[in-house]
Structure 1
Amino acid sequence: MRKTLGITLLSLAALQAASASAQDREYCPERPGIDTPACTMAKGRVSVETSIADWTRDDQPGSRDDNILFGDTLVRVGVSDTIEARIGWTPFGHDRMRDSTGVDSVNGVGDVSLGLKANLHNPDGAGFSVAVLPYVTLPVGRSQIGAGDWGAGFLIPVTYEISDTVSLDLSPEIDAAVDEDGNGRHLAYSAAAGLAVKLNKDFTLTGEVQALRDDDPEEHATQTLAALSLAWSATDDLQFDVFGAAGLNDHTPDARVYAGVSRRF
């Protein structure tokens, strides 16, 4: 009887310690920014990360394309201490193309992405942290909002805390990207690097750069961009953010701006 009672008490203590550990893990949304942090959600915790509005402008000789996404959302669910399942979807998008022939507009839903991020070292993102992130995209969206075919990718997010206030993020990625005509796939690969600085306990400023090589059959291109974002941790489980990016060469969209919110449950 005493042995059974002892085992029961030890089990309850272990469960309580695990719960406390999950509660104590600092919230690490993937918004805002280009990089993907290596941290994962604690087991049983859920993060909902949503763009209120996400606008991209691309000016080319003789044309201008404006793409606006509303409610672009990523849901991350901790399934173990080191692994999270992920699903992303854009419920509504608007694309407007203007050129010498007139204006062409498209409205519709975006594609669905499914992924699994497994942390290999320090799932809370402390110190040196590294993870792997395979994902697939399912072509449920409308043309111009969705890609038109399935795609896949693989990331290796790396985070290194230089100090209590400064951290470095790296996100190399390789993709089976969907062709421009929406039929088939091709190789694309990229690398992003960012430096995040905590201005105080609530505000974090992040500067990032990214280079992407896209071997689309219609045109091989290299894109480069720079970005700056600001995150405000209103509470331990709630964050608001703003983000801005500028293309650094002719193959990159000229500008991107968004604002959003992240909430942990």
Structure 2
Amino acid sequence: MRKLCPALGLLLLYTPQGAYAQDSGSPSASELRELCTERPGLTTAACTVDPGHLQLEVGLADWERDKDPDERKDTLKLGDIQLRYGLAAQTEVQISWSAYVRTVTRDYQANVLERAHGIGDLTIGLKQNLKHPQEKANGLAAGMLPYITLPTGTNQGGDGDWSAGLVVPLSYKFNDTLLLAVSPRAEAAVDEDRSGRHFAYGAAAGIQISLSDKIRMSPEVEIMRDRDPADVATLASAALSLAWRIKEMTQLDVQYVAGLNSDTPDVRLAIGISRKF
């Protein structure tokens, strides 16, 4: 998995669609389900990728700042790659990995600046859609997404130990303009000392507003209860994202996330691109 890199992701994204349509029996883009991505946003979509097809979602740049009276930590991720492959009509496998993670931590008390960079952890998930596998169907959509994260990160690029969790994506599409999404989550999260696990749980919720056939806006909120033995905390965030469908199976996105309390990172900015083959 470590052979993946941002250059490979971009190469796949810009490979002409026609090269894939030449395979015998391969459907054209018009015959595929509508492009339905898991980025941008705090919620998770219930939809799955068409059987036998690959969807690539790449975070080109993702920056986060977490500041308190004692220290400030800046984290930059480049090439945050997620591969989604349709195994069956309502089942997909997911593989996620960060190609480059850079952290800069300034300790105000000791007046020390620490820098580290490496690769991120590897996450493998299996999404099972329970109702409405494609986004354009009105009404209720539901799914289940169990996942496990393996400690492949180097130089503080990952959590330091394995973790696992379950997301239950739920949404209700009222019409072509408005969709309500809720994503409850429970996780065996890694302890702050990077060894061992604790229970974390919460949910993200938001609405998706289609401003046009190509542009979607999503205001969202997320609350998580993190029962880390070192510091039990409640994390609360608000986000606003925009997604622009530049082609039928290609999307650009941008997201802004703000922390709502002192336990939550102050700000996060991310841009990315998605494409289904």
**Fold shared by both chains (TM-score > 0.5):** yes
Q: Deviations over 1:57-112 (max 9, x none)?
A: 00111211000000001100001110000000001100000123210011000000
**Structure 2 segments unaligned to the other structure (5+ residues):** 1-23
1:51 is aligned to 2:59: yes
Other-structure match for 2:130 = 120
Give the secondary-structure state (helix, strand or coil) at the position aligned to 2:88: coil
In 2, are the aligned partners of 1:243 and 1:257 still within 8 Å (CA)?
A: yes
Bigger radius of gyration, 1 or 2?
A: 1
Q: Which structure 1 segments of 5+ residues have no match?
A: 1-14
Q: Runs ≥4 in structure 1, deviation > 2 angstroms?
A: 18-24
1:253 paired residue number:
265
Q: Distance in 1 between matches of 2:42 and 2:155?
A: 24
Match for 1:220: what amino acid?
Answer: V
Q: What residue is the counterpart of 1:12 in the other structure?
A: none
Which residue of structure 2 aligns with residue 193 of structure 1? 205
Q: How does 1:171-210 map to 2 (within 5 A)?
A: 171-210=183-222
1:108 equivalent to 2:118? Answer yes
RMSD: 1.6
Q: Alignment partner for residue 23 of structure 1, among 26, 31, 40?
A: 31
| C-alpha deviation, 1:261, in angstroms | 0.3
Find out whether 1:78 has 2:86 as its counterpart.
yes
Partners of 1:238 and 1:54 in 2: how far apart? Answer: 19
Maintained 8 Å contact 1:57/1:255:
yes
Match of 2:165 in 1: 153
TM-score of the aligned structures, taking structure 2 as reference length = 0.87
Match of 2:101 among 77, 88, 93: 93
Corresponding residue pairs, total = 250
Residue aligned with 1:49, SS: strand
**Equivalent residue, structure 2, for 1:163:** 175
Partner Cα separation in structure 2 for residue 45 and residue 161 of structure 1? 24
In 1, Cα distance between equivalents of 2:29 and 2:67: 49
Task: Name the structure 1 match of 2:147.
Answer: 135
The CA deviation at 1:21 is: 10
Q: Does 2:240 match 1:228?
A: yes
- The change in CA–CA distance for 1:19 and 1:257 in structure 2 (over 3 A counts) is same
Distance 1:20 1:109 in 2: 36
